[in-house]
Structure 1
Amino acid sequence: MRIVLVGPPGAGKGTQATRLAEKLRIPHISTGDLFRANISRQTDLGKLAKSYMDAGNLVPDEVTIAMAKDRMEQPDAVDGFLLDGFPRNVQQAEALDALLKSEDIKLDAVLDLEVPEEEVVKRIAGRRICRNDSSHVFHESYSAPKQAGVCDTCGGELYQRDDDSEDTVRTRLEVYHTQTEPIIDYYKAQGLVVTISSLGPVDEITRRALEALKREDATQ
């Protein structure tokens, strides 16, 4: 299957992308991984992207699209892929359509992870990270430490990252609504969108997604 995964920040896209890609036996292609891989390998695209990033500018769509094209042409993606973080706007979605059409392939589904805005704020703003080890993550509501502000594992101080503050989360949501959410309507016009709730246990969300994709695949 060829799938695009969309949803607001805090919807659990990264977790579900990894799990779904494994279950469906297709590569998980994330924008973040593409950038890191190209920059670390010092490819021409990586050097170009880094030049924009070092200058504090957004990487142009055409560079992101070129990276995605290169990755989708790798042998492990011949029979399918799951795109996570791309496309981010309608212009990228149109470019992806043109790219796929030139290769005589098409998307099978656009999986939309739906979650209420206040739940997104609660999920992200409640996170606390250990200053000694960033892999020690707690949550004020879902996995609170035994002692407030103290890491259960090493006793380090727990803190809230700047980009996890409520104001920042709401700004990120506004950017999502303005830039990324319109691609849902774009793909709905093509009959590709499958929407599921991203509330509940991780395993249940994965099961929900697989069932929805199976139904979508059966109608193709």
Structure 2
Amino acid sequence: MSNKNHISDMEKKLAQLKANHVDTPAQSKARKLVKPLFMTLGFTFLGLFIMLIFVPSSKNQTIVSTQSIAEAIPREVATASSPDLKVLNTFVTSITTTLNKKEAHTLSLTDDSKENNCTIVFTLDYLIAGVGELSNVKRNQPDFDFSCSWTDKYYVLSSNHDTYAKVQIIEAAEGMPMKVGFNAKLTTQKGEQATFIAEDVEIKRFW
């Protein structure tokens, strides 16, 4: 009898343990809601960990942009046959100079005729700060200037006219030429305006 009583007691204890571990309908529903939440949080932290490992530090970035010039320089809405649109496609020279009492650099480009040219002057500090992007709207940037000589007319930025110049300098692999692109709307002293553009023009490395 003692063995039967012992077995009976064990069966009762097992039944009690099973009853204690069976979820109520409310507990079961809560468990189903919480499980996806914990899975989502787990995947989120995993993604952040992977980004911290593989995303390069800003210290390794170059001071000149590698973005496509076509993407970086907005083009004026004008056709190639427009007399107000001037296209430059050839690098002429680059020299070291000063601007706003700072060390600066000058780039000169021309068109197919080799008689017209545009000159870009910028301080190296401004180039580095802008990561290769230069912008001057109505002469609001003393560390960057842009002017063009075209068919006996001289075009400049002006604070009194709707003028601007946006330049993008692209750094290529070491030992390869750099590239420049720009979009500039300039005016003559008489108020005659024209737009000057260049895309992916190779230039001599200046550092």
Pairwise TM-score range, normalised by the shorter structure: under 0.3
TM-score by length of structure 2 reads 0.21
TM-score by length of structure 1 reads 0.20
Greater strand share, structure number: 2
State which structure, 1 or 2, has the greater radius of gyration over its C-alpha atoms: 2
